[in-house]
Amino acid sequence: MTDAVGSIDMPDAEDEAPESRKKTRKGGKRGKKGPLGRLALFYRQVVAELRKVVWPTRSQLTTYTTVVIVFVVIMIGLVTVIDYGFQAAVKYVFG
């Protein structure tokens, strides 16, 4: 049985690294910056990621908030009912 092309046992010829490849710096761009440079880079990356976020519209935000509040109120009611049920059961069993 033969191995699939590019498997771990038989890699493709193009996957193999040539011997004459230049060695890159270990740190990359971060290797040559001080702590303030790294902090500035982090801040720029955070701002870039926040620009990619799809923010909800005001009506979507209102809908989501309403759904969460209604769900929390229902869960509070459910836990309260269960708590009173356990309280009554404990009073009945232990007097």
**Predicted confidence (pLDDT) per residue in 48-85, tens digit:** 999 999 999 999 999 999 999 999 999 999 999 999 99
C-alpha to C-alpha distances, 46 to 31, 38, 40, nearest whole angstrom: 20, 12, 10
The pLDDT confidence band at residue 95, using thresholds 50, 70 and 90, is confident
Q: Determine the structural domain holding residue 81 and report its residue range.
A: 56-94
Residue 7 lies in a domain: no
Residue 21 lies in a domain: no
C-alpha dihedral, 48 to 51 to 54 to 60, nearest 10°: 130
Task: Give the number of domains in the chain.
Answer: 1
Question: For residues 33 and 41, is the Cβ–Cβ distance under 8 A?
Answer: yes
